[in-house]
Amino acid sequence: MKTPEASFFEWQRQFGSEIDCLNHLPLAKWFWAIYFLGSDKGSISALRLSKLIEVNWRTAMGHRDSLYRLSGLIEIDDAFVGGKRKGKRGRGAAGKTPVLIAVESKVKRAGFIAMQAVDSVCHEAVNDFVARHLNAQQEVHIDGLAALNIIDNTQQHEARVTPSELVDEWLPWVHIAIGNLKAFLLGTFHGVSGKYLQEYLSEFCYRFNRRKMEKEIPNRRLNLAIIHAPVHSY
C-alpha cells in the first residue's frame, strides 16, 4: 500500500509544470504563449509565435467572448475578407469569406463588437448570428441587404433599414470596425485563409472589446484558463 508521501510525489511527477499538457505542449510554453499574445498591442501571427516559443506554427495556430450579448442600439453589416487582391471586390468576389459584424453604437464611441464568418449571407446565417450575439428586443440599424430583414421577423428586434444617404450617420461604427479588421489582418497576419478566419475574428473582437484594458489582457487570459472547465481530447 502506498504511503501518503509516495502518492503525493507521484502526483507531483504526473502533473508537474514540466509535464506535457493536453496537446503535449509543456505548461511553460502555454504561459509564454499567453504572455506574448496578450502583451503585443497588434496581436501576433502564428508564425511569429511559433518561433518565440519554439513550436510548429500549426501548433501555435491551434492554441491561439462568446458569452457576452450585445444590447442597446446595434449596427449590423456584412463584409468580405480574404481572396485575391485583383479582380472584383466586395460581395461576389472570388475566394472571399463573408463575415457578419455587429457593433454596439454609443454616442461618441463603439461599444462591444461581435463577428462571425459564414458560408453565405442568407436568412439562416443572419438568424443564427443574431441569436448568438444579440440580446432580445434591441434596436438594430442595417443596410438594404434583403438577408438582414429576417432580424425583424424572427428575433423581434426593431430593425431600421438605412437609407443610402444616411449610411455614414446610421452605420458609422460598423464600417470603422470593418476597416480596422482588414488592417489588423493585413498588418499582423498578411491575410488569412477562410479555414482559420473565425479564430482571427475572435482574436480581433477579444482585443477590441478590451482595448481600454490592454495591460490586463495576459492576467485575464490566465484567469480564464484557471476557471475554464477541463478540455477533453478524444
Look at residue 79 and give its three-state secondary structure.
Answer: strand
- Return the pLDDT at 234: 47
State whether residue 112 is helix, strand or coil. Answer: strand
Sign, CA dihedral 126-170-67-119, equals positive
- The confidence score (pLDDT) of residue 21 equals 52
- Give residue 196's pLDDT: 78
Whole-number Å distance between alpha carbons of 50 and 13: 27
Collect the ranges in the chain with pLDDT lower than 70: 1-25, 27, 30-67, 83-94, 154-155, 187-191, 213-234
Residue 223: in which H helix or E strand, if any? helix 217-227
* Ordered alpha helix ranges (H), 87-216: 123-133, 150-154, 167-170, 172-184, 197-209
Residues 6+ apart with CB under 8 A from 205: 65, 113, 114, 115
Write down the pLDDT at residue 55. 55
Sign of the CA dihedral running 52, 56, 61, 63:
negative
Positive or negative, the CA dihedral 128, 156, 178, 181 is negative
The radius of gyration computed from the CA coordinates of the chain, to the nearest angstrom, equals 21
pLDDT at 71: 92
Domains of the chain and CATH, by start: 4-64 (no CATH), 73-208 (3.30.420.10)
What element of type H or E holds 20?
none
Residue 49 CA, chain-centre distance (Å), reads: 18
Helical pair 217-227 and 27-39, crossing angle rounded to 10 deg: 140
104: helix, strand or coil: strand
pLDDT digits (tens, 9 = 90+) for 63-94: 445 668 899 999 999 999 876 555 555 555 66
Q: Which three cell numbers stand for residue 119?
A: 458560408
Percent of the chain with pLDDT over 70: 55
- The residue length of the chain stands at 234
Q: Can you give the pLDDT at residue 148?
A: 84
